[in-house]
Structure 1
Amino acid sequence: MVTLGNRAGARLGGLLMNTKTARHLMVGSAVSALMLTSTAVQAQTVNLTMLVDNASHTVAISEALVAAFEADNPDISIDIETRPGGGEGDNIVKTRLATGQMTDIFWYNSGSLLQALNPAQTLIDLSDEPYMDDIADSFKQVVSVGEEIFGVPTRPAEAGGIFYNRAIYDELGLEIPLTWDAFMANNEAIAAAGHTPVIQTYRDTWTSQLFVLADFYNVLAQEPDWAERYTNNEAKYATSAIALRGFEKLAEVHDAGFLNADFGAAGYEDGLRMVVEGEGAHYPMITFAIPAISDTFGDAIENVGFFAQPGDSAEENGLTVWMPAALYIPQTTSDEEAARRFLAFVASPEGCAVQNEAVAVNGPYLINGCELPEDVAGVVRDLLPYFEEGGNNAPALEFLSPIKGPLLEQLTVEVGSGIRPPQDAAALYDQDVVRQAQQLGLDGW
């Protein structure tokens, strides 16, 4: 009995021990699972924020880049915030930087507007990043202060010049003009054939500036230090013959009767439609309009070509370039290493490929190794020779100098409408920029 009882007890004890062991194993497994889950959660705890403007193409590009980056970097997530464009957006960026409330990454202009952010005191220097060797020097120039580089390009290069209708050029057997005289001769032939030579759209006053702004490559070709002297109050539009030419060209096309009859009432969208449909032969504009043409007119974008605004020398023919906005990292970022990883992705061929899928490409990339889609529009291909070896391009003045007065678009409307002589407008514009230069604290003003 005792023996049987001992055996039964032993058996019972064994069962109890096995039960306890099983419970311990179950608890241990649960704890291990929780620890693994916790570790996985911890691996994804880096959360960044990014501020971008609310333009549709900016949001589309940002969302596509973030989605692709998160797929390759599951330990990092990025939340996108939007802000208005224009002056309101500028003030938001400046205020958030000044108060330490900026997001971990933000999308903003390059060139003169960047300089107003005091980047050396507010932004992370990216000059030591290996990918900087693959970014075009022309872009690094407009996101730098001294030896420090603060941004990576968000888009391909854009350019100011002249859209033209291919069918009209083919009908009349015209060649792309390399000089202003050749351009005006083309306009004479176009007018004689019953077509409108030059489209202007002064209802949207900003469009009136192109003949002045897109002429800046021709200024630099003659006086390479003009932007520096302008910033130092040593060069003026009214007293510089080469800089005055932009105002004079604006007047010449008006005085020759080359404009559309409704140039004062037509707007930007009208101008795009007119050059696509052949209601006019030339439309001075920046190539940021290419996605708008593609979205609105589809395959009819192939009706449109592009060339640089001509100067006085065929040998020195070149393109005035508008540099894209950039992505920056503020010094207040919550995780600099993670933010740097995202910018490295954006500045890579993989990042460019994501953009190719997200929106219509409107120019050549400024990053080595980035390729354009095979089906890119012909108007984009027209830009490429200016960026290839032996091609000529230079940044617009606003990327080389912080000085740009608010009165310019009103003055160019007046000149382009025959209301004010070019010399008078240039002199008034020289006066217009004085206050801005003084507010910026520039030497010599």
Structure 2
Amino acid sequence: MARTASRGRTWRRATTSVTAALAAISLVACSPAATGSTPSGDGGAISGELQILTGSAAGSDKAFQDVSDAFMKKYPDVKVIYSAVDNNTFPQTKSSRLTAGNLGIFVALNLAEVPDYAKDSASDDLLLAQSGGLVDLTDEPFMQRFTPTMLDAQAIGGRQYAMPTGASYVTGVFYNKSIFADNGVEVPTTWTEFVSVLDTLKGKGVTPYGIGGKDTWPAGLIMLGAAAGVLPTLEDKQGLAADLWINKAKLDEGPSLEILEKTEKVFQYAQPNFAGTGYDDLPGQFANGTFAMMSDGTWNTTTIQTAVGDKFEIGYFPFPASDDAAANKTVNGKIELQMAIPTSSKNKQAALAWMDFFSEKENYQKFLETTGFSSAQPNMATSGFLEEIAPYTGTFETVWGQVWIANNKAGQDAAYPFNYPALAPLGTSTPQQAADAAQQAWGTGF
């Protein structure tokens, strides 16, 4: 998944080579211009073209375009060209455009330090930052607007190389309150209760679950939900990740296998031919009552609410993968869309001005309202939906995909946090077969 490029998909590690991109920016990174400068408040002082690249999701696509349109009104001599591309192809698109030197701002993937045990699997963008390929934003005044603890979570060597745009909660389940009420089922708080709800709905002719299998990564949201209950604390997640790297734990047994088994169990209750359904099709189908529930991140709340309108009330609950209700009390989250400036940017002044403009309270508030992101700045108003799910977000728990680091030397079946793409009908495997393949592929990386 990671929203690999964005919105929830950043939990998958990008493996695209950055050698060409590093070569393209190496001379620029050593020049005085690479440090950038804080833009002046004079709208006429900023000019030229600014190209921005992100992965695509309806809510954030509109929000970024709205910010860019408002920015161009303030800075009429700047032409902002905003591009949102398919998340599955984003890493390759980003790499080629960095090599061409025509990016002003882009979404950095997995921009965080890695533990010593996984130092050889640092993300491409972390390598870019460490090699001088990203502008150091630490001392830019606009960075002071962001919550210090969120900045701490993305610091690299104590320095800041990206502007956070918010946070999203990943492991919750959207549900149709009317379908639940009409069929006499309540929000489940344990795995046993969850399976009972799935069985009850199916028995009454209601399709329980919707999955966007065509894009693969949306099915991984179910896997992340299962991981949230099986590994409820950060310590649990960090412990398994470390044990896998030192071969103390295996991907074909224990919690790793349990997570795949519970993921596949939910697959059994999805709409027919879900492997051919696209992620962007889900909000409309959910709004039409095609299914009762779906896994999605809060980044897509605005799109879902718009599709549903006043047809029914929407609810959201933590994926209850454990039979210990206490382990299912929170939805796991992640830092959203880290915006970085490559030192190869031809217009760093405009890029810094755009970030400054974006992070101003009024502009940032509008961005949050459009995307449904939780705020990366203190003292910002929250939507009614975020207030409703506050009982699940009071204690922040990091999603598994932000802890796991893939071994870039391992085989493809170990490229994802757990081998959910191999599960039928996305693939052809049972949970045990998918786990066995993952363990075999993992072993090739050592």
Instruction: Determine if the TM-score, normalized by the shorter chain, exceeds 0.5.
Output: yes
Q: What corresponds to 1:386 in structure 2?
A: 392
* SS of structure 1 residue aligned to 2:170: strand
Note closer, same or farther for the CA distance 1:207–1:401 as it changes in structure 2 (3 Å cut). same
Q: Does 1:90 align with 2:86?
A: no
Q: What corresponds to 2:129 in structure 1?
A: 119
State how far apart, in whole Å, the 2-side matches of 1:290 and 1:161 are.
11
What one-letter code is carried by the residue in structure 2 that aligns with 1:151? A
Q: What corresponds to 1:366 in structure 2?
A: 376
Note closer, same or farther for the CA distance 1:386–1:149 as it changes in structure 2 (3 Å cut). farther
Q: Does 1:103 align with 2:103?
A: yes
Note the alpha carbon deviations across 1:281-314, whole angstroms, 9 max, x for none: 22223344434434444333x4332222123232
The correspondence of residues 102-181 of structure 1 with structure 2, limited to 5 A, is 102-111=102-111, 115=125, 117-121=127-131, 122-129=133-140, 132=143, 134-136=145-147, 139-140=150-151, 143-154=154-165, 156-181=167-192
What one-letter code is carried by the residue in structure 2 that aligns with 1:246? I
Q: What corresponds to 1:28 in structure 2?
A: none
* SS of structure 1 residue aligned to 2:175: strand
* SS of structure 1 residue aligned to 2:187: coil
Note closer, same or farther for the CA distance 1:119–1:216 as it changes in structure 2 (3 Å cut). farther
Q: CA deviation at 1:352?
A: 1.7
What one-letter code is carried by the residue in structure 1 that aligns with 2:321? G
* SS of structure 2 residue aligned to 1:342: helix
Q: Does 1:325 align with 2:327?
A: no
State how far apart, in whole Å, the 1-side matches of 2:244 and 2:345 are.
33
Q: What corresponds to 1:251 in structure 2?
A: 264
The correspondence of residues 24-423 of structure 1 with structure 2, limited to 5 A, is 44=45, 46-47=47-48, 49-53=50-54, 55=56, 57-72=59-74, 77-82=78-83, 84-86=85-87, 88-98=89-99, 101-111=101-111, 115=125, 117-121=127-131, 122-129=133-140, 132=143, 134-136=145-147, 139-140=150-151, 143-154=154-165, 156-218=167-229, 219=231, 221=233, 223-226=236-239, 228-229=241-242, 232-234=245-247, 238-239=251-252, 241-253=254-266, 258-263=269-274, 266-268=277-279, 271-300=282-311, 302-312=312-322, 313-317=324-328, 318-333=330-345, 336=348, 339-355=351-367, 359=370, 361-373=371-383, 378=385, 380-388=386-394, 391-398=395-402, 400-403=404-407, 407=413, 412=420, 415-417=423-425, 420-423=429-432
What one-letter code is carried by the residue in structure 2 that aligns with 1:244? L
State how far apart, in whole Å, the 1-side matches of 2:390 and 2:306 are.
22
Note the alpha carbon deviations across 1:182-239, whole angstroms, 9 max, x for none: 2123223334444333334545543332321233333252614236516745465525
State how far apart, in whole Å, the 1-side matches of 2:403 and 2:359 are.
20
Note closer, same or farther for the CA distance 1:413–1:72 as it changes in structure 2 (3 Å cut). closer
What one-letter code is carried by the residue in structure 1 that aligns with 2:379? G
Percentage of pairs with the same residue: 19
State how far apart, in whole Å, the 1-side matches of 2:81 and 2:88 are.
21
* SS of structure 1 residue aligned to 2:309: helix
* SS of structure 1 residue aligned to 2:106: strand
What one-letter code is carried by the residue in structure 1 that aligns with 2:420? T
Note closer, same or farther for the CA distance 1:283–1:372 as it changes in structure 2 (3 Å cut). same
Note the alpha carbon deviations across 1:47-80, whole angstroms, 9 max, x for none: 3523223746555333322343455567x73532
* SS of structure 2 residue aligned to 1:185: helix
What one-letter code is carried by the residue in structure 1 that aligns with 2:86? G
Matched-pair contact (CA < 8 Å) for 2:46–2:350: no
Note the alpha carbon deviations across 1:341-381, whole angstroms, 9 max, x for none: 43233234223223257x3x3332222133235xx5x4x55
Q: CA deviation at 1:249?
A: 0.5
Note closer, same or farther for the CA distance 1:416–1:275 as it changes in structure 2 (3 Å cut). farther
Note the alpha carbon deviations across 1:7-63, whole angstroms, 9 max, x for none: xxxxxxxxxxxxxxxxxxxxxxxxxxxxxxxxxx99535435232237465553333
CA-based RMSD? 3.9
Higher mean C-alpha displacement, 421-430 vs 286-295: 286-295
Matched-pair contact (CA < 8 Å) for 1:160–1:322: no
Q: CA deviation at 1:138?
A: 6.9
TM-score by length of 1: 0.71
Higher CA-based Rg: 1
State how far apart, in whole Å, the 2-side matches of 1:195 and 1:87 are.
32
> Which consecutive unaligned segments of at least 5 residues does structure 2 have?
1-41, 112-121
State how far apart, in whole Å, the 1-side matches of 2:148 and 2:193 are.
32
State how far apart, in whole Å, the 2-side matches of 1:79 and 1:119 are.
24
**Greater helix share, 1 or 2?**
1
Note the alpha carbon deviations across 1:406-428, whole angstroms, 9 max, x for none: 55789535535495332221221
State how far apart, in whole Å, the 1-side matches of 2:43 and 2:205 are.
71
